[in-house]
Amino acid sequence: MIQVFGIRHHGPGSARRLLHALEAMQPDILLVEAPADAEGLLENMSLPDLIPPVAMLLYDKKDLSKASYFPFAEFSPEWQAIKYALNKNIPVRFMDLPQGMVFANRAKEKVQPAIQNAKNNPDQPLPKYVTDPLTFLAETAGYSDSERWWEATFEEQFEDTEIFPALLELMTGLREASQDYTTPNTLLREAWMRKTMRTALKDGAERIAVVCGAWHAPPLHELDQYKAADDSRLLKGLKKTNVTGTWIPWTYSRLATQRGYGAGVTAPGWYQLLFRAPDEAVLQWMSKLARLFRAEDMDGSPAHAIEAVNLAETLAAVSEQHIVGIAELRAAAIAIFCNGDEAQLALVEDKIIIGEKMGRVPASIPKIPLQIDLEKTVRSVRFSKIWMVMSSQEKILDLRKPTQLKASHLLHRMLILDIPWGQLTKITKGSNAGAFSENWKLEWQPEFLLKIIEAGMWGNTVSVAAANKVRHEMEQLKVLSELTQLIEAVFNADLPEIVTELIKKISNISVDIYDVAQLMDALTPLVNAARYGSTRGLDTADLNLLIEQFVPRITIALPGECKNLDDAATAIMFKRINATNRNLFIVNDPSLINLWLTALLTIQQDTQTAPLLQGAITRILLDKEILDIETVGDWLNYTLSAGQSRENAAAALEGFCYGSGLLLIHNPRLWQIIDDWIDAIPMEVFMELLPLLRRTFSVFSDPERRKMMALAKDGAAVTVDNDVDTDRIEEKRAALVLGTVRRLLG
């Protein structure tokens, strides 16, 4: 006797009914829809420390880009059926097409001619009753999700022994209606499943239990209608790749993101309650919601929970639905707990609907080489106590200490591998601020384990994997600034083995680039890498050579690029000029600085230069003593004169004042010119210019604005040295630096 149990993947209702049916049947063997070459992982399911949600990972050792995950939750029918069989010492076999065959033939179309019944159009999207038949049936019946439809239709109206035949009849009708859409892969998989069933019969099994997705139930139930020779002919010639399998932890959030028939569910947290305590699921859900609200300092009393349960059940009854679903739960929670404000529920919704559960895998289960090397490195940098800790941790690393420098390398390599365990933040205060320190915020996320597995395709150690990933990205990138950003990442991660080839590619690409904007954008990562390379003990000579190649080309082309720009292009060039100026003075090469300032002087004297750029460049040249205060005063007087456009004057003033207002405060002549200009503007024009002026002056610090207010109130220039009353000196902070100042002054 063969009995086919069509189930909904990850369905708690399916799982409960399946256990009852298996108990009644007492099968000789259990066949489960899972890749046949994953069968070796079954022995691990007897381990007590293998706690779902977990996933089987199957991958090709020779090509780690070929990998597939098969997740299980506690409420997955397949998981419960396998656990039942193992506890009863019932043999279990996986009956789906081996994943090695899927990998080997995924990109091939040679199997298409062998399939006689498939008439699908590859350009036509598959209808929903093919891709997700249970959701299609649920929506047709007026339900918001398939699990609630399953509960209401099958749990309430059928006994255990009747559910699966009824579902089989339903699926048979759907398969007949959709036979033109049957995909080649589906036919291959079902042929392999039937082959496994025939093998079980030959081996002497008398009561065979087959657990599969409901969609596959009809062609397996009708085993006698399919000839073994036809199935063998369909499978003949399929190549197979050797695959390796292991178990990895999974999460409810990951399960929820892989939605769709056979892949995932929308509300794992809710489904866990439905599986464990279906009669109390609504009450437990509301009770958990109350606790979450109290943890967020919001109202969440037992009275709220009880009233919300009553409302949810009433809403389901009004909708003529037997079972409360997520829609009713949310509506009741918003009404009772949130007083109609949906934003409050959003704060905790993922925790209660999706859930935060992460599975656990025993240490005895094999790990991929990259994970082993990563854990070894974590121990060597003394991060073991914070490894896989999900709460936020802060670490300040002193790069002068070898162990902490190694920790920095590890975190930067993980960033390259898209495993952002650590996020680099700025240190703005204290003795740790400076080039020799890094501040990291470390917070582990469950999905990082999956990213580690995925990153294993690049290599068996963290350093090799990071280097190979950079090489791959280097081959794909063509934009100069993106390549130079890789340089910065490589230096921070201490991957010297690929620095030379990366610099060579940057040098080769830059030869054919005549766009000064690209050269300017590429300069910042190069300067940052050269600036901090010495801190990390790295050789930056090649980087300095690149910078020396870029700067002359920038200075030659820049004057022509600054002419006749529109407002948008002017704003972008304004940022680029300020960034390049900052970069060159960080490099502090006199010859490069001389080239740069000469180019800026040419731009400043050109009448076709946009006012915003002219103002910014004038300020730079004044700060670097290329222009004296008298010359700048004359320029400002002319720029703000009555014959000039007031909009252009405001833009020039914005560029000139960018960064600091101390220049105006310490130079009475410049202040007076601006004060007279503003005073002469008619009120209606002033109101039009006010947004531009506000933008200019709003960037100044509070002390600067207070001094300017004092100058404006007096109506004349006031020497700052006598204006001490406007200073608010914090004596405690000043005392911290007095000792240092005394030593500096001797």
| Same structural domain, 236 and 191 | yes
Report the share of the chain in percent with pLDDT over 70.
Answer: 87
Structural element, H or E, at residue 741: helix 731-745
The alpha-helical segments, DSSP class H, found in 110-159 are 128-131, 133-140, 146-150, 156-157
pLDDT band at 412; cut points 50, 70, 90: very high
Does a structural domain hold residue 566?
Answer: no
| Same structural domain, 30 and 175 | yes
| Same structural domain, 117 and 244 | yes
pLDDT tens digits along 433-464? 445 789 999 988 867 877 887 788 788 899 99
pLDDT at 654: 84
Domain count, the chain: 4
pLDDT at 113: 38
Longest dimension (CA), the chain: 107
Closest by alpha carbon to 530, among 486, 474, 577, 586?
Answer: 586
Q: Which residues of 328-357 are buried (b: 16+ CB within 10 A; e: fewer)?
A: bbbebbbebbbeeeeebbeebbebbbbbeb
pLDDT tens digits along 530-574? 776 655 555 677 788 888 888 999 999 999 999 888 889 999 999
Instruction: Kindly tell me the burial class for residue 24, based on how many C-beta atoms sit within 10 Å of its own C-beta (0-12, 13-18, 19 or more).
Output: exposed
pLDDT band at 333; cut points 50, 70, 90: very high
Cβ–Cβ < 8 Å for 301, 290: yes
| Same structural domain, 414 and 314 | no
pLDDT at 537: 58
Number of alpha carbons in the 13 Å side-chain half-sphere of residue 91: 11
pLDDT at 454: 77
Does a structural domain hold residue 708?
Answer: yes
Span of 234-243, 352-361, 520-529, 641-650 with lowest mean pLDDT: 641-650
Find all residues with CB under 8 Å of 646, minimum gap 6, and list them.
Answer: 681, 685, 689
Find all residues with CB under 8 Å of 311, minimum gap 6, and list them.
Answer: 331, 332, 335, 336
Span of 237-251, 373-387, 398-412, 627-641 with lowest mean pLDDT: 627-641
Give the integer Cα–Cα distance in Å for 544 and 16: 68
Region 61-73: what's the mean pLDDT?
81
Final residue in a domain of this structure, among 354, 388, 414? 354
Closest by alpha carbon to 233, among 282, 278, 187?
Answer: 187
pLDDT band at 617; cut points 50, 70, 90: very high
Write down the mean pLDDT value for the chain: 83
Does a structural domain hold residue 591?
Answer: no
Question: Bigger pLDDT: 309 or 653?
Answer: 309
pLDDT at 109: 44
| Same structural domain, 235 and 332 | no
pLDDT at 121: 53
Cβ–Cβ < 8 Å for 638, 681: no
| Same structural domain, 185 and 48 | yes
For residue 284, the one-letter residue type is Q
Q: Is residue 151 over pLDDT 70?
A: no
Question: Between the CA of residue 470 and those of 475, 488, 493, 541, what are the distances in Å?
Answer: 9, 11, 11, 21
Final residue in a domain of this structure, among 192, 224, 250? 250
Final residue in a domain of this structure, among 354, 386, 407? 354
Give the integer Cα–Cα distance in Å for 677 and 641: 7
pLDDT at 361: 87
CB count within 10 Å of CB 737 equals: 10
Closest by alpha carbon to 211, among 30, 453, 435?
Answer: 30
Region 504-521: what's the mean pLDDT?
82
Pairing state between β 393-398 and 437-442: antiparallel
Does a structural domain hold residue 683?
Answer: yes
Q: Is residue 243 over pLDDT 80?
A: yes
pLDDT at 60: 82
Region 281-293: what's the mean pLDDT?
92
pLDDT band at 50; cut points 50, 70, 90: very high
Does a structural domain hold residue 181?
Answer: yes
CA 366 from centroid of its chain's CA atoms: 27
| Same structural domain, 244 and 330 | no
| Same structural domain, 42 and 124 | yes
pLDDT at 27: 96
Which range marks the domain in which residue 429 is found? 369-458
Does a structural domain hold residue 242?
Answer: yes
Span of 542-556, 557-571, 645-659, 666-680 with lowest mean pLDDT: 666-680
Sheet holding 54-60, edge to edge: 63-72, 54-60, 244-249
pLDDT at 261: 36
Does a structural domain hold residue 144?
Answer: yes
| Same structural domain, 286 and 246 | no
pLDDT band at 288; cut points 50, 70, 90: very high
Long-range contacts of 527-533 (CB under 8 A, 24+ apart): 527/583, 527/586, 527/587, 528/488, 529/487, 529/488, 529/490, 529/491, 529/492, 530/587, 531/435, 531/586, 532/435, 532/491, 532/492, 533/491
Region 656-671: what's the mean pLDDT?
72
Give the integer Cα–Cα distance in Å for 585 and 615: 19
pLDDT at 512: 75
Number of alpha carbons in the 13 Å side-chain half-sphere of residue 19: 18
pLDDT at 663: 66
SS (H, E, C) 85-109: HHHCCCCEEEEECCHHHHHHHCCCC
| Same structural domain, 84 and 195 | yes
| Same structural domain, 176 and 206 | yes
| Same structural domain, 231 and 317 | no
Q: Is residue 520 over pLDDT 80?
A: yes
Cβ–Cβ < 8 Å for 437, 397: yes
Long-range contacts of 530-534 (CB under 8 A, 24+ apart): 530/587, 531/435, 531/586, 532/435, 532/491, 532/492, 533/491
Region 332-352: what's the mean pLDDT?
87
Q: Is residue 112 over pLDDT 50?
A: no
Report the share of the chain in percent with pLDDT over 90.
Answer: 34
Does a structural domain hold residue 394?
Answer: yes
pLDDT at 474: 85
Cβ–Cβ < 8 Å for 28, 205: yes
Question: Between the CA of residue 631 and those of 245, 312, 361, 656, what are the distances in Å?
Answer: 76, 77, 74, 14
